[in-house]
Amino acid sequence: MRTVRYSVVIPAYNAERTLPHALKALQQQTVPTTLFEVIVVDDGSNDHTAAVAERFGVRVIRQANRGPAAARNAGVEVAQGEIVLFTDADCIPCPDWVERMVAPFADPQIVGTKGAYLTRQRAWMARFVQQEYEDRYDRMRRFRYIDFVDTYSAAYRRDVFLANGGFDPIFPTASVEDQEFSFRLAQKGYKMVFVPEARVYHEHDTTLKAYARRKFFIGYYKALLARWLPERLITDTHTPPVLKLQLLLMALILVLLPLALWWPLARVGLLATVLAFYGSALPFLSKIARRDPGILLPALGYLPVRALALGTGFLAGQIAFWREGSRGRKPVLTLRQRLLKRTMDIVGASLGLLLTWPLMLLIAIAIKLDSPGPVLFKQTRIGENGKPFTIYKFRSMVANAEELLPQLIDIDRLKEPTFKLKDDPRRTRVGKFLRRWSLDELPQLWNVLKGDMSLVGPRPEMDWLVARYTPEQRRRLAVKPGLTGPTQVNGRADLSFEQRLAMELEYIDHYSLWKDIQILLKTLPEVIRGNGAY
């Protein structure tokens, strides 16, 4: 019997011209065709798209026109492979595309991969688009894990895709539905990687009008995305930060342009802003000069069009979605809440370090006199969006405590991603005192000041425990872990994992700065009572 390991899903709408090239390329893959299936989802085409697909012997699903997000979801629903790959009907995968896309999944922690574009086009506009993508690929190569996956060349573990709801069909056209899904996964700490060698050929925009229109609608739907995930306006692993600066500079140019007609000072400001705009683009322009110098001059005209189209699209989207609301979704934290929370963290951690350093010095001396080993215990924990960081604590156990853990618990037989050791034999005499009064946690003030942690939030867990989380449990990774938190003032280690999770998700779902202040005020009395202090 044929064993299908991978499924390639292609959404198609009126694609009778380009689809044959995509399907022919998939027949020529280095991975045997017996190992993967191809599913074409005809999204309400009114041409011969479905008939073309059937001639190639692939599986065809027909649906009323609902957009590429819904089409891809429909394909995944019937897919047999454990890995689902996505490309578009106007893409031509290279012969080793499937092989390279699925290779990273040998690591069980990897849930998604992203490939890259190539083009054979010679039109200036198309070559400029390709250089835009190459600039983004340069950025993505710097990251071990990514948060941004485009579906022209993408792959996911099918079970993870389904467990997390797939693409949101609220996006009716090809816009940012793929970005939104990968952002959603990244928020839960799932690991995705960039595979630049997994390339597909594509026909980019060849006219300025088509390019501007596409950028406008990207900006338009980015406005909706920004209402759900405002933190992605600040940074992601794909978008060059300078592009956001260029949008602001273009807005300033538009303001100064009419003023410059009658106000001399505005002319000076306009000139300075234009110079700043092109100055910010110098790194990108220098890449074009090296890679494709023939489009350097046209690029000078394309850059302001890009900024203008994205900016006006985003503004139009802000207006439209302000009227419609967030369509049933809200951000974990708004930008204002994030700013206020971070300000409180910096002030609180700075004051805490200033006031407690004499006590921490005494604790360090006591640890050194009590048992051999370092004063500080350092361990990798998982932070916001699954980002690993090094946590600092006063050492409360023997120096080889982590090596002894497998002797105390059977990690593989844990029924839930947590464990309790009420009478931990690895604790030292000083360590018992420190744990009772939570003094071992004081060095985490440095973690808060650095930005790895917050004063208040879910407690940070070890990576091997987080790897056992379900999609729902991963929601606790949507915010920074805290020095204290809802579970620290409501029973601590006496709580079951389900109780802890419920409290932490309630904290996240109904976050407020006042709630943080209440938890901080309750922390010291709870430490004095010592409930659940193991």
Following DSSP, what letter does each residue of 218-259 receive, concatenated? HHHHHHHHHHH-GGGGT--SSS-HHHHHHHHHHHHHHHHHHH
321-326-331-335 Cα dihedral, nearest 10 degrees: 30
Flag residues of the chain having pLDDT under 50.
none
Beta strand pairing status for 454-456 and 482-484?
parallel
What pLDDT does residue 300 have? 97
pTM of the model: 0.88
What pLDDT does residue 95 have? 97
The answer to whether 147 and 182 are in contact (CB under 8 A) is: yes
Phi, psi of 500 (to 5 degrees): -60, -45
Longest dimension (CA), the chain: 81
Q: Give Cα separations from 8 to 17, 184, 201 (angstroms).
A: 19, 22, 16
94-97-100-101 Cα dihedral, nearest 10 degrees: 150
Residue 466, by phi and psi: left (phi above 0), alpha (psi -120 to 50) or beta? alpha
User: Which DSSP letter does residue 376 get?
Assistant: E
- Report pLDDT digits (tens) over 112-147: 999 999 999 999 999 999 999 999 999 999 999 999
In sequence order, what DSSP letters do the residues of 108-141 get, joined into one string? TTEEEEEEEEE----SHHHHHHHHHHHHHHHHHT
Give the length of the chain: 534
Tokens of 23: 């399907």
User: Which DSSP letter does residue 283 get?
Assistant: H
What pLDDT does residue 458 have? 94
Tokens of 437: 């009064």
The domain 1-204: what is its CATH number? 3.90.550.10
The CA distance from 226 to 233, in Å, is 6
The CA distance from 477 to 187, in Å, is 7
What pLDDT does residue 328 have? 63
What pLDDT does residue 494 have? 79
Cβ burial 35-57 (10 Å sphere, 16+ → b, else e): ebbbbbbbbebeebbbebbeebe
The CA distance from 168 to 326, in Å, is 13
User: Which DSSP letter does residue 397 get?
Assistant: B
Contacts of 361 (CB under 8 A, 6+ apart): none
228: Cα separation from own chain's centroid: 13
What pLDDT does residue 226 have? 87
Residue spans per domain, the chain: 1-204, 207-330, 335-529
Tokens of 321: 């979605």
Which residues partner with 59 through β-bridges? Answer: 39
What pLDDT does residue 534 have? 54
What pLDDT does residue 408 have? 79
Reading across the β-sheet that carries 461-462, which strands appear in turn? Answer: 388-394, 376-382, 461-462
Reduced DSSP (H G I as helix, E B as strand, rest coil) percent helix, strand, coil of the chain, to 5: 55, 15, 30
What pLDDT does residue 532 have? 57
